[in-house]
Amino acid sequence: MRIALPPERRIQADFSTRDAIKQAAKWTAMALLTLGMSTLVSGVLQQKEVLEKTRIVDPEGRTRGRIVCTATFKDILAHGILWHALILGTLGLAWLIAGSTSQAWLLSRCHLQVDEA
């Protein structure tokens, strides 16, 4: 099903450069502390954070909706372990499609929550 926003509304992400720097520092530290194991989930969790800071605004700048992701940490961890096993099992070939597949997987677990007004 295709959903179209009214022309006067737009999608706005409230993910700043400061947020991106904090994310990079946090995941670099996590990768070092966990000897790289946090990379199983870091990409999908970073995407989820951006999506959850995305909202629908009207011409006056009022929030009229937002993106809600229902994927839990457990779901994301299972997905990450599966893809890392596939990448290792195919000697790296699965890496060619892992990024786009993981993004599609996350988006399929998100929906628009629209405030009617």
Identify the residue whose tokens are 């009617």. 116
The verdict on residue 85 lying in a domain is yes
Under the banding of pLDDT at 50, 70 and 90, the label for residue 106 is: very high
Q: State residue 3's pLDDT score.
A: 67
For 27-82, the pLDDT digits (tens) are 999 999 988 888 889 999 999 999 999 999 999 989 999 999 999 999 999 999 99
User: CB within 8 A of 47, min separation 6: which ones?
Assistant: 102, 103, 106
> What is the average pLDDT score of the chain?
90
pLDDT higher than 60, residue 1? no
Q: Does residue 81 sit within a domain?
A: yes
User: How confident is the model at residue 52, as a pLDDT?
Assistant: 94
Residues spanned by the domain of 26: 10-114
31 contact partners, CB below 8 Å, separation of at least 6: 38, 39, 42
Q: How many domains does the chain have?
A: 1
The pLDDT value recorded for residue 117 is: 61
Report yes or no on 3 lying in a domain: no
Q: Say if 96 falls within a structural domain.
A: yes
pLDDT of residue 9: 86
